[in-house]
Chain A
Amino acid sequence: MELFVIPLIFALVAAFAPKNVVRYVGLLGAVASLVVTIVHAISFAPEATVSLVDPNYITSFGLTFKMGYDGMGLLMVILTNVMVTIILLANLNQKIANERSFNAMVLLMQFGLIGVFTAMDGIMFYIFWELTLIPIFLISWWYGAPERKQVLVKFFIYTFVGSLAMLLSLMALGTYATDFSHASLVAVTLSAKAAFWVMGGFFLAFAIKIPLFPFHTWQPSTYTVSPMAGTMLLSGLMLKMALFGMIRWMLPLAPEAKSEMTCLVITLGLIGIVYAAIIAIKQSDIKRVFAFASISHVGLIAAGIMLFTKDSLTASFIQIINHSLVAVGLFLAAGILENRLNTREFSQMGGVAKLAPKFAFWFAVIGFASVSVPFTSGFIGEFLLLKGLYGYNWIVGLVAGTTLVFGAVYTLRAYQLSMYGSPKIEGFKDLTWNEMLAFFIISVIIVVLGVYPQVVIDFVGPSLDNLFNSMQASNTLVP
């Protein structure tokens, strides 16, 4: 219980705390939540499934309130807590951190995310899923760039419609099951046609959130107009809900439609990888470069998930973590440039490396992590994902592999245009301690996972076995 309660309590406290300490209340809340999660993780055996809420009561329409976690759920909860801590830490010196509502909303978001990752009941999953939309929308609405309103309305409606499709799918599936608990929903065997529509509904919701080509158009503009913290939350955590949802909900619930959907999703993923990467090459706005880069990277993860083997799912988890870290790091760098220079245009940057060597160093580390060089988690994740895709179909593997080349093109271009050359600006304040610490934590995790990814593998492996077993028990096809 304390996993959910702590962020919620701190959200309330932050809403009424005095303005001069509210930033520390927010950070404290995130850290406290992280500590509790770590305690959970230490006493956790990877093959176990821990129940957090199970009132043993079913409402008339089948809601069971079940919440709990297994290895992969807990991994995502840890990720959430780590990332929220990093995000609040990185924003500590921003004006936004003095706002009560900002801190409260971030913690509320954390609450919602933990709910999404621990939901063991379809309706609970949906409720928490929708809940997360509200704080992120408000953060961007209140603190975003001046041109934000139209963009954000579009974002809200678009993702909301996608979620409705998911709700319809859940409802349809629920009519066949005794209740909405994860186990009952998995146990349902659907006809191929029904499964197609059920999976289709889930897919629409997830494809919009991830986002996959061609459902991605809300993303670059929303990332650009959101404040730094908002972009970090969106790219670092929010889209991971959808990737996790594919693994936990979409594929196990309607595996009968997997063979039909695999080809479609992998194709969309592939198009996204190449299309977004190519567009990123010539963008003149640094946030848009990283936004398109993000589309390209998650396309690869989504394609990997669709293979639905233990290897590919493990690789996807490594890459999910990696992408969270890298995306937050890149948007931190972009945010620092934007806040200090008051522009996002490359044409007005250049020469920052000379003025701010510390920033140049840490930005470079994240940049390299983004192009998946050895000793970074991206190297391992990309290697395993590409291997999986190559095994599926060599052309798919080859096309996905172009991310190696294009990734280097747009990332290095963005870095060099902003940092190299002789300075065009008078001064540039180098990193503050909290920004440096944020970069440092991100980099350490990236390197540790790049050298010893086995920690993640051991953590999610048994829970993936459990997932496959439960699917097998319900007589559905498993790879």
Chain B
Amino acid sequence: MAVDQLIVMILALPLLGALINGTIGKNLPKQIVGSIATIVMFAAFGLALMVFNSNHEEKIIHLFSIINLDSLTLNARFQVDSLSIWMTLIVTGVGSLIHLFSMGYMSHDKGYYKFFTYLNLFIFAMLILVLGSNYFMLFFGWEGVGICSYLLIGFHYSDEQKGMLNGLAARKAFIMNRIGDLGLLIALFLILMQFGTLEYREVADKLLVENMMPTTWMMFGITLCLFIGATGKSAQIPLFTWLPDAMAGPTPVSALIHAATMVTAGIFLVVRSNFMFETPGAQATQDIMLYVGLATSLAAAFMAMRQNDIKKVLAYSTVSQLGLLFVALGMGAYTAAMFHVTTHAFFKALLFLGSGSVIHAMSDEQDIRKMGGLKKYIPITHMTFLIGTLAIAGFPLLSGFYSKDEILAHAVMHSPVIYGILMVSVAMTAIYMFRLYFLTFHGSFRGSEEAKHHLHESPKSMTIPLLVLAVLSVIGGALNLPGVILSKGAHWMSHFLEHNTRGLELIETHHLSNSQAMLLMGGAVLMTLIILFGTFVVYVKKNSVAKADEELKGWELLSNKKLYFDEIYNALFVVPVEWISVKSHQFIEMFILNKSITGFTGLIGKSGDVVRKWQTGVVSSYILWMVVGIIGLVVYYLIKF
């Protein structure tokens, strides 16, 4: 099959799955519903692999024109190049495993068919996002994944206790994303004004080949607005608070949408637009991106330190890792960022699914204070979770070690201060992850007897994805080994991406000398080992347990309360807008406008009373009025002529 058909099929498969399950899924047995959804995903992944193997050049697939006006043409068009096919592989690959996992995880849920419909629909929207050949298609997918995310966060909306809260979390996610979307939309308008097109290729050609020189302000505006869009979807300061709340959704959703794929859309957007971010005007945006990423990485890592909900820890960890990615993008390290996106997809999906397996075993308990000693009850989950933890903490030779190290290497070259701050964030990551791991799996069980009785390892459909992801988390680093490890064939992934992604081939990548690289790695390894030992002592040897909420003081309270971001936003935005809403309704609407109009229409009604009195019913008075009228007319015309 030619690449054209393959791409169309990759897109059509998840849509087909969603259509089947959405229409008749309610009446099908659960196994069939889950199988349909999962099989289309694996098939799409297989086709994506075929494209990956056969295609080595940029290719455009034109479907039809959505809008064709004189001044503006927007196409349903797809673009196959290294970047888009790589993202497709991640989305369909990790997506397949998470679909498989969900078959077991959601097996007791009433909305089974709905869940898989939404999940397939999400994949469809995400594929449009990554495969589209222009910013309009990206925006299409961008908004599409937003809806699916909304639907899945609020999936348990009719829950007795938490239904309304789940709904609120979903709403918050949607609205915060919408604020970012507004930024993205304006970026689109600016690109249209400047370049007259939204096609990536044409914009890139104008900048790179035709050497068009837009004003500095223009490029700053475009890139800044793109970045604002990215802060929404990829949960950066100031629009990050929705992501931890999004954990209200079922755990596979957290793994797929809120860790591995959707939240990396912002990174993808920047990498895709690298030719704009590399213009002189965008220098300031790059700096903004770097500092926002740095602040987010640090703040989120700090917040994760004293969270006690297993999923919340992972959520803040995701925010923090995304911050790290934006630091990389701010330094122009696009391929390094994509590398970390890939490994992060592996180990964060693994960790979330692992936490799902834990929650499943714990009969829906998510508080790590009620867990402990789980390693002997759920050994496979324990093993894989440990691998995930080591990978994200940067344990030597695991995937996260290499991808993080590459970003750190760029940081060293960029500025030692930034490197130093990043190391703090990296250290905190190791601390809260080992804390999470030890509190969950070591020590003695702290839950109720009943919960202990229920503890069980998850079924195969759940453990197989865990094992596959665990393997990927271990070997994922091989995709882009640094020169110090491998003299020949190093940086495979960077070369692959640079090979035919517009703009990327022009960006010079510097690598550290081998001795510097060794020094850097050594430092990172030493730090990880020290933290591992330290947390082991605190949480296993001394058996410390996380404190109850009331006992928290000082920085612990600050961390647990997420630096009071929610409360501050509430006071700054929600309360004032609601106040304005109520007051303008009371005062402007009901008092000024309504009163004056009622007065006006009342006046007209009254005037009717006056005029009515003229209808006396006496013929002579009518004649009198008539004569007056005629005279009036005659006089008027006499004067006029």
A residues near B (Cβ < 8 Å) are 153-154, 157-158, 161, 214, 216-218, 275, 278-283, 310-311, 314, 351, 353-354, 368, 373-375, 379-380, 383-384, 386-387, 390-391, 394, 397-398, 401-402, 404-405, 408-409, 412-413, 416, 419-422, 451-454, 457
Contact = CB atoms under 8 A, between A and B. Distances in A.
A161 B64 CA distance: 49
Given A217-B594, A391-B193, A422-B163, A374 B185 contact: no
Nearest to A276: B589
Contacts of A457: 67-69
B355 to A, nearest CB: 26
B66 A409 contact: no
Given A158-B601, A217-B594, A457-B69, A421 B163 contact: yes
Nearest to A214: B593
Interface stretch (B154-162, B275-283, B514-522): B154-162
Best-surrounded residue of B72, B189, B598 (most CB of chain A within 10 A): B189
Contact of B175 (A216, A373, A409): A409
B190 to A, nearest CB: 8
B597 interface: yes
A169 to B, nearest CB: 19
B293 interface: no
A283 B178 CA distance: 22
Contacts, number: 146
B69 A278 contact: no
A353 B158 contact: yes
B167 A391 contact: no
Contacts of B585: 279, 282-283
Contact of B147 (A353, A368, A398, A451): A368
A280 B189 CA distance: 28
A228 to B, nearest CB: 24
Given A374-B143, A421-B167, A452-B66, A217 B178 contact: no
**Can you list the 7 inter-chain pairs with the closest CB atoms, starting with the nearest?**
A282-B581, A354-B158, A420-B167, A416-B167, A157-B601, A420-B157, A390-B189
9 contacts: A154-B601, A282-B585, A397-B189, A404-B185, A405-B178, A405-B179, A416-B168, A419-B157, A420-B166
Given A351-B163, A405-B175, A416-B154, 20 more contacts: A158-B601, A216-B593, A217-B589, A218-B597, A282-B578, A351-B158, A353-B158, A354-B158, A373-B143, A373-B146, A386-B185, A405-B182, A408-B178, A416-B168, A420-B167, A421-B157, A421-B167, A452-B64, A454-B66, A457-B67
A355 to B, nearest CB: 9
A226 B488 CA distance: 78
A402 B182 contact: yes
Contact of A278 (B163, B186, B584): B584
Contacts of B405: none
Interface in B145-189: 146-147, 150, 154, 157-160, 163-164, 166-168, 170-171, 174-175, 178-179, 181-182, 185-186, 188-189
A401 B171 contact: no
B550 interface: no
B171 A412 contact: yes
B212 interface: no
A218 B589 CA distance: 11
B581 to A, nearest CB: 4
B604 interface: yes
B69 A380 contact: no
Interface in B567-587: 577-578, 580-582, 584-585
Contacts of A281: 577-578, 581
B157 A310 contact: no
B182 A401 contact: yes
Interface string B312-347: 000000000000000000000000000000000000
A398 B163 CA distance: 35
B67 to A, nearest CB: 6
Best-surrounded residue of B154, B182, B193 (most CB of chain A within 10 A): B182
B65 interface: yes
A62 B58 CA distance: 66
A207 B140 CA distance: 33
A213 B596 CA distance: 14
Contacts of A422: 158-160, 163
A282 B580 CA distance: 10
Nearest to B111: A357
A374 B163 contact: no
A49 B607 CA distance: 45
Contacts of A394: 186
A416 B171 contact: yes
A386 B185 CA distance: 9
Contact of A153 (B69, B597, B601): B601
A59 B461 CA distance: 83
A453 B143 contact: no
A404 B68 contact: no
Contacts of B207: none
B158 A387 contact: no
Contacts of B65: 454
Contacts of B577: 278, 281
Contacts of B513: none
Contacts of B185: 383, 386, 401, 404
Interface string B225-248: 000000000000000000000000
Contact of A401 (B67, B146, B186): B186
Contacts of B551: none
Contact of A279 (B143, B179, B584): B584
A217 B593 contact: yes
